[in-house]
Structure 1
C-alpha cells in the first residue's frame, strides 16, 4: 500500500511579530489522507507500535505500578512494551510482575536483551536468555510476530556464545531450543550491507534511526539502508522525540544531545507514515529512559541519577499527539479531530548561555535552536496566537494539524490561545513553561505541555 505524500504545504496566513521576533513558516496537514488501492497480489500487513521499557529503572516497581503504565500505553494505541533487561537477577522478578499486570488485557510484552550488560562470550552465557524464552514462550501476553514469539536486543552484534561467529552464537543461544521457534528482530550496530551474514535475524531494529546522527533534519536514508540490507525481512524503525544526557566523568561520562529541531517528533512520524508500506513495526524510544531524556511515560520508578535534568520535565503531554500519528501509521488515515488541542515543547534556557554546572555544556549543543515548538489540532478555522514576552506569532489556520514556532529573546511565560469569532476556546499557559535567559544548569531536556 502507498500513502499520499505527507509533505506539509504552506498555509496562507497573516503573521505578526514584534521587534526581535523570528518569523517562521506555518505548516498544516489535511484532516485525512486516503490510501491508494493496494497493488495487485499484495497482502496487508498488520502494523504494530511498541515502546522500549527500561526494566533497570523499576527496582521498586510492583504489579500495580506496571498496571498503571500498561493502561496508559494501551489508552494511546501502543501495542506492547519491549522489556529491556540486563544481567541483574532482580530484573527477572520485575518482568514477572509485568506479565502478571498484563494478564487479562490485550497488551503484549516481549524481551529485549541488553547486550551491553549481559555477557555473551561463553556457551553458559546463553542459559539466562533461554530461561526468558522458556518462561514466557506460551504466555498469552507474549507478543507474537508472524505467529511466533518475538525477542529483540540492544546491541549484541559481537556475541559468540562460544562459537566461531555471532551468527552461529545467536543461532545456538536462542534458536536451538527444541520446539520453540522465534521471531528474532535485534538491534545490531553493524553495516546493513552485512545483514546477509546474519541469517539468524528475521528482521532488524534500527535504534539510531530515531534521531539524525548529524546536524541535519531527520530523513529516511538510514531506514532505506536497513530495508535494502534486510532483503525482504522485517524492518523495525525507531521513533524518538528527544535526546539529552548529562553525566559527568564521575559517573557514566555521557554528555551530549542529538538534533531534535523542526518539530522532530512530527517530522519523524510523518516520514514513517509516508513509508509505512516498507515498515513492519515502529518502536518508540523510550517509555522510561530518564537518563537520555526520551521518556514519554510518567516519571516513576527509579531514576539513574538523572534527577537534575528530569525532575519537573514531564513528557506525558506528548502522548495524545503520538497517538494521533500511531493511528495514521497503523491505518493509513489520520483520525478525526474532535477537539481543539495545543501541544507545546522546547528547552527552557538558551543553548549558548553559560551556567554554573560541574558537568560542562553537552557535546553538539550548537545543533539546537532556542525555539518554542507548537502543534495545534483544530476542528475548524481559528485564530491562533503563540506568545512569549514581546515575541509572538498570530495566524489564522484551517482545520487539521498545524505547526508554529517562535524564538524568545528574553525571560518570559509561553502561552498559546485559540479563538473563533473573537471568543477564546483554548487558553494554554502552563505555569512551568517559563523561558529563562539565565540557566541554573546545562539542562537541555524538553519541557512538554498539552492543553
Structure 2
C-alpha cells in the first residue's frame, strides 16, 4: 500500500511540474519553475500592475544610512493588447545618404551586393570633453534564477565589451528587489568602474496612488550612496520605460511625478534624483514636465518604428517597385531610414526649448541603439506579433549616426542586454525567458555584443579605433520571408519589410578580399579597404552562411558557423536573427 501511494504521488508531482503555474499578476506565467513575465510589452497602453510590497535588501558595502523601507501599493489594474500601430513615438523620415568617398582606416565603410566601392561615414566631431556613457538595458524580470555569480559574469562581459553600466529595468514582481541588490553587490565586488541605475518599468509598476511612488523612492534612497550608482550632476540617475500616464493620485501627471518623486522631501540632499524618463509623449509637450524631466530617454529611437509595409511601399512607388521584388534602387531608398537621427533632433530640440533647470544644468539626452526587433506572441498570451525593420545593417549604422552627433548625446543605451521576447538581446541567452524559447533558443546574438566595443569606443572618445584584428560578423534570418507555415500565430505584421539577405560586417587590418557565400555554389567577392566594411548578398534557400577574408593569397579568417540553414520549409514563423562571428 505504501509503495502504491508513493507511486501515485510521484505521478501527480510529475504532472504538476509539467503544467504552467499562474502567478498573481496578469500577463505573467511560470514555465519550468521560472516566472515568465510580460515586461516585454513595449507599449505604454499595455499596463500590467498589481499590489506590491517592497522590502529592499541592503547590499553589502552600501552605507548604513541607505536603509530599505517597506511600502505597500494599491492596485491600479489596466491592460491592453498592443500592435505596431499603437506605438507612440516621434515621427522619423528618410535621411539623405552620405556621398561616396574613400575610406580611411579609422572609419567604417559600406559595400553592397553590386559594388565594392566604400561609402565612408563622416569623421565624428572632436570630443567636447563631457563624459559619455554606454549602458545596456537589462531586464530584471528575466533574471528570476540569477545568482550573484550570474550578475558578476554579465558585468564582466559587458565591461570587456565597452559597456559602462546597466539600466536595470524593474517591474512589480516581489522577487525583483533581491535581484537588484545582487546586481549592485556584484558590481561592487567586481572592482570595476561599472555603473548601475534604476529604470522603472511603468507598464508593470502601479502608479495610481501616492503610496505607489514610495516603491520608486525606496529604490532611490537604498542605492543613492552606492559606489556603483550612476550619478549625473552629483544626483542619483534614474529612468523609466513609459510612465506618461502616471499621476500617483494627483491632479495631473506632471504634478504626480514632481510631488511624489522628483521634488519629494525624501529625494533631497544625498538622495536627490536626476530623472531622465522615457515618456511616450509628443516632444513638444516636454515643457509641461519642466519640474520632472532632468533629461530624456528616447527609447524608440533605436528602430525606424514609423516604417510600415504600406509606408515603405509609398516610398518606392515612383520606382515602379514593390516589396515582394525589390531591386537595388528600391532597397537603397528604403534603407535610407536606417540610422536616421530625425527623431533624435526632435527630442534634442524639445529639450533645448524647455525652461532652464533649477541648477542651470544641461538636460541630458539618452539615445537608443538596437540590433533587431521581432516578437511572436499569440492573442491568447501577450498579443504581440510584428517586426521593426532591422535590415541594412541597423546596429552598426545607427551607431555611426550616434557617433556623428555625439556632442549632443550624453548616454547611448543599448536596447537590450536580455529582452528575449523582442529578439533584441546582445547578451548570452540565460536566466528566464518570457516564453520566447520558440524563436530564441539556438539564436545567439553575442556577435553584436563583440561588435559593440568598436562603436562604443568611437562614441566615448570621438575617434574610431584602429583595427588590430581581422574579424567577420554575419547575421541573417532562418527562413524566407514569404514562406507559408501552419503557424497559428500567423506571420508578423510588417514582415514584408525585411529582405532575404545575408548581412556582414568585416574588420580588416589591411586591404583585403572578402568572399561571402550562401551555398557551396553561390558566392560574391568584395575588395575592401582596411577598417570596417558593411557587405551583403542574397540568401539561398536551403543554403548556409560563410565569410572568408583573404590577403596576399592566404585566408586570414574563415567563418562558417555550424547550425545555420536558411530553411525553405520551416515549421513555424521565426523572424529572429542567427548571428555568428569570428573571434
| Class of the TM-score when normalised by the shorter of the 2 chains | over 0.9
Aligned partners of 1:6 and 1:29 also within 8 Å: no
How far apart, CA to CA, are the structure 2 residues paired with 1:194 and 1:173? Answer: 20
Show the 5 A alignment for 1:97-246: 97-103=182-188, 104-175=191-262, 176=264, 177=266, 178-179=268-269, 180-199=271-290, 200-213=292-305, 214=307, 215=312, 216=334, 217-218=337-338, 219-231=340-352, 233-246=363-376
Return the structure number with greater relative CO, CA threshold 8 A, min gap 6. Answer: 1
User: Which segment drifts farther, 413-422 or 367-376?
Assistant: 413-422
Aligned partners of 2:124 and 2:404 also within 8 Å: no
TM-score where L is the length of structure 1: 0.92
Q: CA deviation at 1:411?
A: 1.2
How far apart, CA to CA, are the structure 1 residues paired with 2:115 and 2:526? Answer: 10
1:276 matched residue in structure 2: 406
Show the 5 A alignment for 1:328-407: 328-389=458-519, 390-407=521-538
Query: Any idea what the Cα deviations from partners look like across 1:144-167, whole Å, max 9, x if unmatched?
Result: 122211010000011111211111
Aligned partners of 1:153 and 1:186 also within 8 Å: yes
Select 1:251's aligned residue among 351, 364, 381: 381
Q: CA deviation at 1:11?
A: 6.5
**2:453 equivalent to 1:323:** yes
Question: Do the aligned partners of residues 265 and 34 (structure 1) sit closer, same or farther apart at CA in structure 2, a change above 3 Å counting?
Answer: closer
Query: Any idea what the Cα deviations from partners look like across 1:181-210, whole Å, max 9, x if unmatched?
Result: 111000000000000000110111111110
Query: Any idea what the Cα deviations from partners look like across 1:363-402, whole Å, max 9, x if unmatched?
Result: 0000101110001000001111001123321122110111
How far apart, CA to CA, are the structure 1 residues paired with 2:555 and 2:102? Answer: 22
How far apart, CA to CA, are the structure 1 residues paired with 2:176 and 2:300? Answer: 25
How far apart, CA to CA, are the structure 2 residues paired with 1:33 and 1:378? Answer: 18
Paired residues in the alignment total 433
Q: CA deviation at 1:413?
A: 1.7
Query: Any idea what the Cα deviations from partners look like across 1:241-288, whole Å, max 9, x if unmatched?
Result: 000000001210100000011111111111111111111111000000
1:91 matched residue in structure 2: 176
Question: Do the aligned partners of residues 307 and 80 (structure 1) sit closer, same or farther apart at CA in structure 2, a change above 3 Å counting?
Answer: same
How far apart, CA to CA, are the structure 2 residues paired with 1:409 and 1:385? Answer: 15
Query: Any idea what the Cα deviations from partners look like across 1:328-374, whole Å, max 9, x if unmatched?
Result: 01111011111110000110111011123221000000010111000
1:18 matched residue in structure 2: none
Aligned partners of 1:8 and 1:27 also within 8 Å: no
Q: CA deviation at 1:32?
A: 9.9
Structure 2 unaligned residues grouped into runs of 5+ = 1-95, 104-111, 313-333, 353-361
Q: CA deviation at 1:212?
A: 0.1
Q: CA deviation at 1:169?
A: 0.8
How far apart, CA to CA, are the structure 2 residues paired with 1:280 and 1:56? Answer: 26
How far apart, CA to CA, are the structure 2 residues paired with 1:160 and 1:229? Answer: 22
**2:544 equivalent to 1:413:** yes
Three-state SS of the structure 1 residue aligned to 2:544 is strand
Q: CA deviation at 1:23?
A: 3.4
Query: Any idea what the Cα deviations from partners look like across 1:59-109, whole Å, max 9, x if unmatched?
Result: 110000000000000001111100000111210000001111111321111
Aligned partners of 2:302 and 2:369 also within 8 Å: yes
How far apart, CA to CA, are the structure 2 residues paired with 1:194 and 1:31? Answer: 34
1:15 matched residue in structure 2: none
**2:559 equivalent to 1:428:** yes
Structure 1 unaligned residues grouped into runs of 5+ = 13-21
Aligned partners of 1:24 and 1:405 also within 8 Å: no
Backbone CA RMSD of aligned residues: 1.9
How far apart, CA to CA, are the structure 1 residues paired with 2:371 and 2:124? Answer: 26
User: Which segment drifts farther, 70-79 or 212-221?
Assistant: 212-221
Aligned partners of 1:51 and 1:287 also within 8 Å: yes
Q: CA deviation at 1:28?
A: 4.0
How far apart, CA to CA, are the structure 1 residues paired with 2:131 and 2:99? Answer: 26
Query: Any idea what the Cα deviations from partners look like across 1:89-133, whole Å, max 9, x if unmatched?
Result: 210000001111111321111100000011111111111111101
Question: Do the aligned partners of residues 392 and 8 (structure 1) sit closer, same or farther apart at CA in structure 2, a change above 3 Å counting?
Answer: farther
Query: Any idea what the Cα deviations from partners look like across 1:307-348, whole Å, max 9, x if unmatched?
Result: 000000000011121111111011110111111100001101
Q: CA deviation at 1:429?
A: 0.3
Q: CA deviation at 1:26?
A: 3.9
Aligned partners of 1:378 and 1:398 also within 8 Å: yes
Larger radius of gyration: 2
How far apart, CA to CA, are the structure 2 residues paired with 1:77 and 1:146? Answer: 23
